[in-house]
Structure 1
């Protein structure tokens, strides 16, 4: 009897393993057929608000991310823009598992990695790396550049044998445009742009497929920003990388991104290609952001209508009902307070064909196209 029980247990375990292999094989086939390399669906992150010292009780929650969905394809750059506090950086931390989501799913190559832990999480982190915002605090001042870039090899020793790590670190320094002889220097001996290159080299060490860049140039001078962005574009072509590029500078996002998502108070309010978002915006918030972008033509700048939003950004602990943007929107009506608009192609443009400039998702009941940037004066 005991032998029969053991046999059944082994058979059951073999069946479970076979099902797992079949599911993995299906996921890989779907990915190879052109499905997104990263799929985020209804991602939510609420930070609890508590009261009390000895006996804490939750009295609310800060809704940092409140239902974000997007896809990222292989070799694509998805830019995410929005005001400070809209939830961009929290999305980056959720994708890289620096924070655990409250709800929603994250799929990498068809596999659900939302609750991954242990070895599974370690494997995921090898393929999804992050470049941090501040090049001054993201590098350990007590470690040499060689140790900083080589640290991922200590965590993933299968990538590079111990005897080969020094050579790989030197190669990475050369790839990002730094002298390989700098391997024994410390972070304080480098400029801001050079430090960010070191951070990028560290992110490339494990040859990931996805890099999440959380405002990687916001702390740098304008000339250095261009160098770092051009470097990231070159590395994308060289290594076949996919980027989630987070920033608040709309001009930089336009330069590097294939598609752009605009965030407001924890939600994506408009998603489209670079041309759709920058030349044919349909959401009022996107239009207001673009109206503030400087135009290098004094005459065009003088003729352009500036949209000035009234009021403050609502608290993410108590967001408005319905459309979160309605308290600052000049188009707001009663419907906006009662019904949350879905992120979809608006009814106004439902008769347009896919591929037309205005045929892209926008979370607004009264979406309408509006010229965001005035071109040069015709002579």
Structure 2
């Protein structure tokens, strides 16, 4: 998924994260005593992404498309079945366990649910300071409390509240605590796995503004995962669209939202609510038929073909490559990629 110019193109240069043919299959087994594998859930299947310093790459798609599994692979919560993850030019698969642990400092994660991602038995100060207990060389023991207070203040909370417990904070405040914890080791990359989906709309805006401010202050790179396309457009420089474990299309925010070429991207944009009622009649709605296939038994060829109005014989026979198509500079994994006006996204 090569990078193209985005809103921060002037400062986007150095590649800090890339994956090569990243695969994660979860085995399906039968039997009680003697289990045997009878299949696999293909959660992530050959994903190539590229993230540059100071850039935000949005990953969008329906539930079950592999977004959260990708996040877990990038942060080390899951081990790839195959493929590689390269951080700052170093392939993590070539490192020892101790070397990987140190390299992972550069990639931290903000979880989706602020109500379950924080240990209810720990104080906020202990939660935010826990990374210092694991990586003891980052901060001397005598300085850790001061650093925790600094982090709490950085995300807009009262440093005097570090002895409180998570249940004493609202959802938006808890997510700020999660962001403070992610910042503790001063990472270069933060993976945000639907960080605002569990929050009220007004609180979502506050958290998004906080993330943008911190990015500018610390030159952070974000992988921002969401199913809400309007949220992603607000923060992303580039956007990758996933379906059944594969990336279908990738481009700058304007390329994806104003000039989508893949039928699945066009269908997603067509489903975005239009707040202005005078524009609703102008909308070219795309209603997908059928259900999302099982990732344990995906269709041959193009995985979207069973729901695509453009599908032809070649779509069942050949997997379309994620490459630029004639007349369209950004990559799209469709044999018949072409722009379609979906009024809509540009007006949301």
TM range (shorter): over 0.9
Match of residue 342 from structure 2: 372
In structure 2, relative to structure 1, the CA distance for the partners of 1:52 and 1:270 (3 Å cut) is same
CA distance in 2, matches of 1:193, 1:236: 19
Please point out which of 285, 302, 314 is paired with 2:264.
285
Please point out which of 344, 348, 359 is paired with 2:329.
359
Range with bigger deviation, 289-298 or 323-332: 289-298
Alignment of 1:107-146 (within 5 A): 107-114=86-93, 116-146=95-125
Cα deviation digits, residues 219-251 of structure 1 (max 9, x gap): 111111110011000000011100000000100
Q: Give the alignment's Cα RMSD to 1 decimal.
A: 1.2
1:34 Cα shift? 4.2
Which structure is higher in RCO with an 8 Å CA cutoff and minimum separation 6? 2
Contact residue 323 and residue 341 of structure 1 kept, 8 A: yes
Cα deviation digits, residues 280-327 of structure 1 (max 9, x gap): 000000000000111222111122111010000000000000000000
User: Normalising by structure 1, what TM-score?
Assistant: 0.87
Larger Rg: 1
Please point out which of 163, 181, 201 is paired with 2:160.
181
CA distance in 2, matches of 1:168, 1:189: 22
Contact residue 149 and residue 198 of structure 1 kept, 8 A: yes
CA distance in 1, matches of 2:332, 2:216: 30
Match of residue 144 from structure 2: 165
CA distance in 2, matches of 1:100, 1:62: 15
SS of structure 2 residue aligned to 1:66: strand
CA distance in 1, matches of 2:164, 2:228: 32
Match of residue 65 from structure 1: 44
Contact residue 295 and residue 373 of structure 1 kept, 8 A: no
Contact residue 282 and residue 343 of structure 2 kept, 8 A: no
Contact residue 285 and residue 342 of structure 2 kept, 8 A: no
Match of residue 294 from structure 2: 315
Alignment of 1:167-316 (within 5 A): 167-316=146-295
Contact residue 101 and residue 114 of structure 1 kept, 8 A: no
Moved over 6 A (4+): none
Cα deviation digits, residues 61-92 of structure 1 (max 9, x gap): 00000110010000000000000000000000
CA distance in 1, matches of 2:183, 2:88: 19
CA distance in 2, matches of 1:34, 1:239: 16
Q: Which runs of 5 or more structure 1 residues have no equivalent in the other structure?
A: 1-32, 350-357
Range with bigger deviation, 262-271 or 115-124: 115-124
**In the alignment, is residue 50 of structure 1 matched against residue 50 of structure 2?**
no
SS of structure 1 residue aligned to 2:203: helix
**In the alignment, is residue 80 of structure 1 matched against residue 59 of structure 2?**
yes
Match of residue 4 from structure 2: none
Cα deviation digits, residues 233-275 of structure 1 (max 9, x gap): 0000011100000000100100000000000000000000000
SS of structure 1 residue aligned to 2:206: helix
Greater helix fraction, Structure 1 or Structure 2: 1
Contact residue 68 and residue 267 of structure 1 kept, 8 A: yes
Greater strand fraction, Structure 1 or Structure 2: 2
1:124 Cα shift? 1.4
CA distance in 2, matches of 1:128, 1:162: 23
SS of structure 1 residue aligned to 2:122: coil
Range with bigger deviation, 367-376 or 202-211: 367-376
Report the number of matched residues. Answer: 335
**In the alignment, is residue 345 of structure 1 matched against residue 315 of structure 2?**
no
